[in-house]
């Protein structure tokens, strides 16, 4: 990847300063975590051409072979209020970047997957850092399938897509990364949480669906009714009660299943 050309396209003040490029790494999350504990500045981004031990939510493996995807991890040191909306900021930034480089429209699956149709285009992993109980920073890892040929990887062939697959041609990873970081800063700095929530909600396919949500070792069933300003899901249970779920894994319930 031509990282100098990415730097030349950045319009940000903090995000991507510095922008560190590594040819191959286990996970960019771990590199940023170490830099964060050494006092790394807000906005620091580590991006790798290849991750050999990329990880997703719930300890899953994240496939990021050399030369095809984007795997940046971004260090932020926000207020508690802004910390809560990182899960909205990242997918919105991805949506803007994808549209800018391809014209494609994406949708979101709660809590922060980015999809085209039924296939996953991008996943977001957010890990917090604490000093005692006090949050000190967060690392936002974004795995975006840019030119990946998912068909080559049986474990994701049926569920993943990439910008190139949807578009029918390769796209510039450099331009995509610059657009992504520029958009991330715009949303991160947005003063109005409600406008972010509404923009995210508009593309959130999960709403209105009959779902099962697994979180904290248990599963809740119901209809995804709405999301609050922190991105938590409001789930209407079968008995009419409403419960708030901060984050979890959603599966659609097949017609005819009951709780």
| Minimum CB distance to ligand BTN smaller for 58 or for 130 | 58
* Burial environment of residue 42 by CB neighbours within 10 A (0 to 12, 13 to 18, 19 or more): middle
* Gyration radius of the chain's alpha carbons: 18
Sheet strands side by side (includes 45-51): 19-25, 45-51, 73-76, 134-144, 119-131, 113-116, 107-109
Please pick, from the candidates 7, 14, 56, 205, the single residue that binds ligand BTN as defined by CB under 6 A: 56
Looking at 80-88, 117-125, 151-159, 251-259, which segment touches ligand BTN (CB under 6 A)?
Answer: 117-125
Rama region for 165: left / alpha / beta (φ>0; ψ in -120 to 50; rest): alpha
- Tell whether residue 121 is a contact of ligand BTN (CB under 6 A): no
The closest residue (CB) to ligand BTN is: 123
Please pick, from the candidates 10, 12, 19, 28, the single residue that binds ligand BTN as defined by CB under 6 A: 28
Number of residues near ligand BTN (by CB under 6 A): 20
Could you tell me the end-to-end alpha-carbon distance of the chain, in angstroms, rounded to an integer?
49
Residue among 166, 158, 144, 116 at smallest CA distance from 28: 144
Looking at 59-67, 129-137, 221-229, 237-245, which segment touches ligand BTN (CB under 6 A)?
Answer: 59-67
Looking at 24-32, 101-109, 197-205, 251-259, which segment touches ligand BTN (CB under 6 A)?
Answer: 24-32
- Tell whether residue 29 is a contact of ligand BTN (CB under 6 A): yes
Please pick, from the candidates 33, 55, 137, 197, the single residue that binds ligand BTN as defined by CB under 6 A: 55
3-state secondary structure of 183: helix
Residues near ligand BTN (CB under 6 A): 27-29, 51, 54-57, 60, 62, 64, 71, 73, 113, 123-125, 141-143
């Amino acid at each position: 990847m031509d990282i100098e050309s990415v730097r030349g396209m950045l319009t940000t003040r903090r995000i991507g300063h510095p922008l560190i490029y590594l040819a191959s790494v286990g996970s960019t999350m771990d590199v940023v975590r170490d830099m964060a504990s050494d006092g790394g500045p807000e906005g620091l981004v580590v991006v790798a051409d290849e991750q050999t031990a990329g990880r997703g939510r719930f300890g899953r493996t994240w496939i990021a072979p050399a030369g095809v995807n984007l795997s940046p991890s971004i260090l932020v040191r926000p207020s508690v209020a802004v910390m809560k909306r990182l899960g909205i900021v990242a997918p919105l930034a991805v949506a803007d970047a994808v549209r800018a480089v391809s014209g494609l429209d994406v949708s979101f699956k709660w809590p922060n997957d980015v999809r085209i149709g039924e296939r996953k285009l991008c996943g977001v992993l957010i890990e917090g850092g604490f000093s005692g109980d006090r949050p000190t920073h967060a690392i936002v890892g974004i795995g975006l399938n840019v030119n990946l040929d998912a068909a080559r990887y049986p474990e994701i062939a049926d569920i993943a897509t990439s910008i190139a697959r949807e578009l029918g041609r390769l796209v510039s990873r450099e331009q995509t990364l610059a657009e992504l970081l520029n958009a991330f800063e715009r949303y991160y700095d947005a003063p109005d949480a409600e406008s972010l929530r509404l923009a995210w909600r508009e593309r959130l396919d999960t709403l209105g669906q009959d779902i099962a949500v697994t979180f904290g070792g248990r599963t809740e069933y119901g209809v995804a009714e709405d999301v609050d300003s922190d991105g938590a899901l409001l789930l209407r249970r079968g008995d009419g009660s409403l419960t708030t779920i901060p984050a979890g894994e959603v599966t659609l319930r097949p017609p005819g299943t009951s709780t």
